[in-house]
Amino acid sequence: MPMSASRVIGTRIEATQGAAMEEQAQEINDDEPAARAEAMRDSDATEHVVPLHAMEASGIDEAMAAESSDAAPTQPPTEALSTFVKLIENARYPSPRPPAWWLVSAIKKFDGLCAYCGRDTGSTPDVDAVIPVIAGGPQRPDAAVLCCKACKQERRRRDVLLWKPDASAKLRAMRATLALDSWNHLSRDPAAMRTPMKATEVVTERWRHPRFHCHGALLPMGGFIGWRDVTQVPSAIQLRLVFEHDGWRLRQSLKRTNRRNNTSAIFWFPTRDGAVDALWDVIGQNGLVRHADLGAASSSTGEAQPDSASDWTMMFPTVADLVRQRSRQNR
């Protein structure tokens, strides 16, 4: 890419804002407001990339109504969308309570001090997984740290880098080591994981970004990416999906969420190639994408199985497993 993702996004935002201001200035001095309104409607109908805030305000139905009738086939299949929404609503990934001896071991290892804030944990010490289990982290004693109650409640299941960008070097090093023993996806490039060294490089590069988890589904005419809690996902990811992959953020309210503060997000990509590119980009940004099995909804649309050589649904718990899987596919 000729420029970084952040610069591309910033340029697109500035261009959009600049165009809007210019149109407003022309409207004030225009002698024919009706003609101007008609021209603006034509311009909106041909606009392909819509700012995130605009999509949130208008919703998928209103946004697509502004397009030409030729765009109707790009709308997400109703049954598939409904199934995808229900899957995210009902998804449960409980974190098992660690054994009591983990806490005793952590108190000795960290001298009774919180690994996050450095303060004494007092009478309410607790243990916390450096990489949450829901994000693919390993479940073992050396993957947990001692923490105070306040830090654990504030962090919840967010990645350490997302929640605490100024995390200590010791905590970052611990996270980097555990990343190699966490659940990770294969690479889109079959040659990138042929050896342990290459696979480690790929995984390490991904883990420079905060880890988050989401769901994805691929259909012949497009695909979905979604998550239930936006606070666990970097805001830059949403901007990338809209501005770089032409994704539509659907205005969907999930059950068991506060309608005034609905933090869920569901994106629709109107082409299969665009959806595949978006899925691999999310994986490259360290997303753990769980494959959403749409069941009858996907079979009714003729969903094809992804090519095993570049299967975004495949993930493994260690780098060694990634290399072994890639070796089998290359035989």
pLDDT per residue as tens digits for the range 79-93: 999 899 888 888 887
- CB-based burial, 22-51: b 16+ in 10 Å, e otherwise: eeeeeeeeeeeeeeeeeeeeeeeeeeeebb
Measuring CA to CA, which residue among 60, 47, 54, 49 is closest to residue 250? 60
* pLDDT tier, 329 (very low <50, low <70, confident <90, very high otherwise): low
Q: Span 215-226, mean pLDDT? A: 93
pLDDT 10s digits, 171-194 = 999 999 999 999 999 999 888 888
Amino acid at 122: G
What's residue 73's pLDDT?
A: 46
The residue with greater pLDDT, 209 or 320, is: 209
Please tell me what DSSP assigns to residue 306: P
* pLDDT tier, 147 (very low <50, low <70, confident <90, very high otherwise): very high
Could you tell me what percent of the chain has a pLDDT over 70? 69
**Range with the lowest mean pLDDT among 205-209, 231-235, 286-290, 308-312?**
308-312
Asked if pLDDT for residue 69 goes beyond 60, the answer is no
Q: How far apart are CA 87 and CA 293, in angstroms?
A: 8
What's residue 241's pLDDT?
A: 95
The residue with greater pLDDT, 259 or 178, is: 178
Domain-wise residue ranges, the chain = 5-76, 100-179, 184-330
pLDDT 10s digits, 36-46 = 444 443 433 33
Q: Which residues contact 129 (CB under 8 A, 6 or more apart)?
A: 95, 137, 139, 143, 144
Asked if pLDDT for residue 51 goes beyond 60, the answer is no
pTM of the model: 0.74
Check: CB of residue 142 under 8 Å from CB of residue 120: no
* Domain at 100-179, CATH class: mainly alpha
The residue with greater pLDDT, 266 or 71, is: 266
Asked if pLDDT for residue 63 goes beyond 60, the answer is no
Asked if pLDDT for residue 281 goes beyond 90, the answer is yes
